[in-house]
Amino acid sequence: MINGKRYDWEDVTIALPHGTLIDVEGIDYSDKKEVEAVYGKGTNPQGYGAGNYSAEGKLSLKREEFNRLVDYAKQNAKSLYGLPPFPISVSYANEDERLATDKLQQCKITGTSNATKQGDKSVNVEIDLTILGGINWNGLPANV
């Protein structure tokens, strides 16, 4: 941290296979691992059992950026949902801080939504993602 400055939206760079996103308003991504307490004698857990790992995400793109993604899909698949799994890199760079990069591996588009109304100054398209290959949090896999 330099002079109290923390990461902000200006410090975020998002890259998809068709290039670095310029007309992007947001990205959300998360993952989870099922863990359940295992009981034996008594009322306290004796250990735990682990279940499935899952990861998901959402992109909010300006319509112009979504059009570039559609153009990429036209060249590489028969449909938007037919795109093969692709990586997304999200990098955080803050002045003299070291670069931090999260990698969303093997992303598949699972939903899109578009809404616009009178008075809007821009049009956004929301894209839902299933992250099949998991999230690598700045060099550390979330699950192996």
Assigned domain for 36 exists = no
Structural domain of residue 106, as residue ranges? 9-29+56-141
Pairing mode of beta strands 100-115, 45-62? unpaired
Does residue 95 belong to any structural domain of this protein? yes
Q: Is residue 43 part of a domain?
A: no
**pLDDT at residue number 97:** 77
Find the CATH number of the domain harbouring 20. Answer: 2.30.110.20
| pLDDT greater than 80 at residue 16 | yes
Average pLDDT over residues 90-111: 92
User: So what's the pLDDT on residue 3?
Assistant: 63
Q: Is residue 61 part of a domain?
A: yes
Q: Is residue 94 part of a domain?
A: yes
- The pTM of the full predicted model, rounded to 2 decimals, is 0.89
Pairwise CA distance, residues 77 & 110, whole Å: 15
Using a pLDDT cut of 70, give the percent of the chain over it: 98
Model pLDDT, residue 4: 72
Query: Rounded mean pLDDT of 35-61?
Result: 96
Indicate if the pLDDT at residue 2 is higher than 80: no
Question: With bands split at pLDDT 50, 70 and 90, how would you rate the model's confidence at 109?
Answer: very high
| Count of domains observed in the chain | 1
Residue 98 lies in a domain: yes
**pLDDT of 73:** 94
Residue 44 — very low, low, confident or very high, per pLDDT cuts 50/70/90? very high
User: Which pLDDT belongs to residue 64?
Assistant: 95
The 10 Å Cβ neighbour count of residue 99 is 11
3 falls within a domain:
no
Distance of CA 125 to the CA centre of its chain: 15
Distance (Å, rounded) from C-alpha 63 to C-alpha 144? 36
- For residue 40, pLDDT over 60 is answered with yes
For residue 37, which amino acid is it? A
82 domain residue, yes or no: yes
